[in-house]
Structure 1
Amino acid sequence: MDVDAFAAEHGPEWHRLRTLLGRPRRKLSAAEVDELVTLYRRAATHLSIVQSRSPDPDLTTMLTRLVLTARAAVTPSPGFRWAVVGRFFTTAFPLEVYRAGRWCLGTGLGFVALSTLLILIVAGDPEVPLRFLTQEEITALVERDFEDYYRSAPAQNFGFAVWTNNAWVSAICLASGVIVLPVLYVLWVNAVNLGLVGGVMVGNDRTDLFLGLLLVHGMLELTCVFVAAGVGLRIGWSWIAPGPLRSRGQAVAAAGRSGLVVALGLVPVLLVSGIVEAFVTPSVLPPVVKLTIGAVAWLAFLGYVAVVGGRARRLGESADVDAPDREAVAPTV
């Protein structure tokens, strides 16, 4: 294809399209709006022809910019709406967590069972922790380091660090879920760390301190990790067993969109967990008060998911993107 001849033939159309795009939409007449749509479609066709027959870089770049600008004018974004944010927290997020409930529960039970087993092993044999820590490190951990950790930085800085770290761990679980193994590795590493520290504390008769500090924030914090890991494993399972009516690509795409909803929704929940860990866990409040605050935050999240997510499920709500934004699927025989 002669690129110069093609540009000379269709240049007036592109120029006219630029002219219409340069004018405010409210000042375009009905006929000019129709012309704008027609020229946009023709420019998109021209771009396809150039890319397939003679991919001239300069012409391709120019037409790409023109088509993208025209598309934005023809199908403008509705802009920010608070109703969308409200629906996200009243429907989309709790619904997706509720739908993945069995995966999250299974992940949580497995993690707790493994951590408990490791704690019992470490606490039951004094030689086991010495394979990972020196006696000096064990003594420091039991006498001061475990408790001092929560006061190792100003509360606001510590809370921000905890929030970002937990968000990072959750993001890893969600993003790598399609591969499955990274999620299991993250869970294993955290279970081993918890088992080792917990075993050392329990084995040295500091069970009350260990549980008294950990449970305050850990109930909500670990639940968020279980949700992220459960949804991540659900994404991985979607390509292993996509079901009889979907291809693997369709199954992973749908599960991935669900994972994105959960990832965004966990951000404020992890923020609450970080605030509790930074300001409540190391506070001078009586242990029963601190545990009550942690339990209330945890039960509030579980109740929110069960009630709001369950209602959305019963009403047949969907957290997926609108149909025009999904991949096109044609029936085949």
Structure 2
Amino acid sequence: MDVDAFVLAHRPAWDRLETLVKRRRKLTGAEVDELVDLYQRVSTHLSMVRSASSDSVLVGRLSGLVASARSAVTGAHAPVWSEFARFWTVSFPVVAYRAWRWWLGAAVASLVVAVLIGSWVAGNPEVQAAVGTPSDVADLVNHDFASYYSENPAGSFALRVWINNSWVAAQCIGYAVVLGLPIPYVLFQNAANAGVVGGLMFDAGKGDVFLGLLTPHGLLELTAVFLAAAVGMRLGWSVVSPGDRPRGQVLAEQGRAVVSVAVGLVVVLLVSGLIEALVTPSPLPTFLRIAIGVAAELAFLSYVVHFGLKADRAGETGDVDDAPDLLPTS
């Protein structure tokens, strides 16, 4: 973005907003509407400048102006439904979209680890003996793995799965406070466990059972875990390499973005848990159960790309401090 051209194009609006803020107690009805409209526009300008410029003076001026305008206008807060809609169409998807490189990296690295460990276990009887006795391994591949998904009532099982998955995601997000350093280990543990079980199942000729039971819910579940890991590691990296902007400002923005993802993943993992409890153990044909899981995964990814890309192009960052808290006006 050409900062000089941007300032030249929008300075009249900023100056006008500053004038209206100073005259806040003497505004006409039309001027109040103008103040609200300018506040929303300048909030967007601030988001754009923060994401594309290292000019701390300009960011500081716009931040102060937006804060003054917010305090100047009272009694026009957006209703709960509007904030709810903004969260699901802007805040959550744009944070997920902007973290796609970290997200994809976590997914690829975990897949590689799981495949390598699975191949190692499947072709090495000594490793299998270290995992468990022959009877333990036989019980796992012939009974325990499949019965895990059907031995409990669907409702209680879904709740347990949801809590467990939420805990894994919460760990990834929580470790952001220590620069995300433990997150790769959490991902490694998760991938290693899947690799060991997968290796045992494939070696016993039960690979179709393994994939048929894991895929329906696992796609969305693991995507959520990878997203949690991505934003956690990204926040940690913002401390190490904040770019041209002040480290404290970048850290605060990334921290608020992590909160958005944490809230959004509660719902995503709930959907995953319901699929695991209701679809995975169902008597539906394997191809249909997998199709449901693939459909849920594609729906989530399409949602993130559609709304996230749109919000990113509009200069949104997912930072709650940038969200207009006023009703739109004409």
TM normalised by structure 2 equals 0.73
Paired residue for 2:259?
260
The Cα of 1:163 is off from its aligned counterpart by 0.7
Report if the CA contact (8 A) 1:123-1:200 is conserved.
yes
Partner amino acid, structure 1, of 2:123:
G
Paired residue for 2:136?
137
The Cα of 1:244 is off from its aligned counterpart by 2.4
Partner amino acid, structure 2, of 1:277:
E
Paired residue for 2:318?
319
Matched, 1:82 2:81: yes
Unpaired segments of 5 or more residues in structure 2? Answer: 1-24, 26-72, 325-330
Distance 1:311 1:153, change over 3 A: same
In structure 1, C-alpha distance between the alignment counterparts of 2:227 and 2:306, rounded to whole Å: 17
Paired residue for 1:197?
197
In structure 2, C-alpha distance between the alignment counterparts of 1:178 and 1:184, rounded to whole Å: 14
Partner amino acid, structure 2, of 1:221:
E
In structure 1, C-alpha distance between the alignment counterparts of 2:82 and 2:323, rounded to whole Å: 20
Paired residue for 1:183?
183
CA deviations over 1:221-250 (Å, ceiling 9, x no partner):
000000000111101101111112212x32
Paired residue for 1:226?
226
Paired residue for 1:238?
238
In structure 2, C-alpha distance between the alignment counterparts of 1:246 and 1:136, rounded to whole Å: 59
Distance 1:124 1:324, change over 3 A: closer
In structure 1, C-alpha distance between the alignment counterparts of 2:163 and 2:251, rounded to whole Å: 27
Paired residue for 2:304?
305
In structure 2, C-alpha distance between the alignment counterparts of 1:118 and 1:207, rounded to whole Å: 15
CA deviations over 1:173-199 (Å, ceiling 9, x no partner):
011124222211211111111111111
Report if the CA contact (8 A) 2:91-2:320 is conserved.
no
Report if the CA contact (8 A) 2:92-2:260 is conserved.
yes
Report if the CA contact (8 A) 1:167-1:267 is conserved.
yes
In structure 1, C-alpha distance between the alignment counterparts of 2:75 and 2:110, rounded to whole Å: 47
The Cα of 1:78 is off from its aligned counterpart by 4.7
The Cα of 1:126 is off from its aligned counterpart by 1.6
Partner amino acid, structure 1, of 2:191:
A
In structure 2, C-alpha distance between the alignment counterparts of 1:227 and 1:201, rounded to whole Å: 28
Further displaced range: 82-91 or 314-323: 314-323
Report if the CA contact (8 A) 2:257-2:319 is conserved.
yes
Distance 1:280 1:232, change over 3 A: same
Partner amino acid, structure 1, of 2:147:
D
Partner amino acid, structure 2, of 1:186:
V
Q: Pairwise CA RMSD of aligned residues?
A: 2.0
In structure 1, C-alpha distance between the alignment counterparts of 2:76 and 2:122, rounded to whole Å: 59
What SS does the corresponding residue of 1:304 show, helix, strand or coil? helix
Matched, 1:215 2:218: no
The Cα of 1:204 is off from its aligned counterpart by 0.8
Unpaired segments of 5 or more residues in structure 1? Answer: 1-29, 31-73, 326-333
What SS does the corresponding residue of 1:151 show, helix, strand or coil? coil
Paired residue for 1:287?
286
In structure 1, C-alpha distance between the alignment counterparts of 2:308 and 2:123, rounded to whole Å: 42
Paired residue for 2:152?
153
Report if the CA contact (8 A) 1:178-1:233 is conserved.
no
The Cα of 1:289 is off from its aligned counterpart by 0.7
Relative contact order higher in (CA < 8 Å, ≥ 6 apart): 2
The Cα of 1:136 is off from its aligned counterpart by 1.4
Structure 1 runs (4+) greater than 4 angstroms displaced: 74-80
In structure 1, C-alpha distance between the alignment counterparts of 2:261 and 2:323, rounded to whole Å: 22
In structure 2, C-alpha distance between the alignment counterparts of 1:133 and 1:274, rounded to whole Å: 29
Paired residue for 1:64?
none
Paired residue for 2:94?
95
Identity %: 47
In structure 1, C-alpha distance between the alignment counterparts of 2:303 and 2:138, rounded to whole Å: 42
CA deviations over 1:101-133 (Å, ceiling 9, x no partner):
000000000000110110000001121121121
Q: Which protein shows a greater Rg?
A: 1
CA deviations over 1:276-297 (Å, ceiling 9, x no partner):
0000000000001101111100
Report if the CA contact (8 A) 1:178-1:239 is conserved.
no
The Cα of 1:315 is off from its aligned counterpart by 1.9
Paired residue for 1:62?
none
Report if the CA contact (8 A) 1:178-1:237 is conserved.
no
In structure 2, C-alpha distance between the alignment counterparts of 1:77 and 1:238, rounded to whole Å: 35
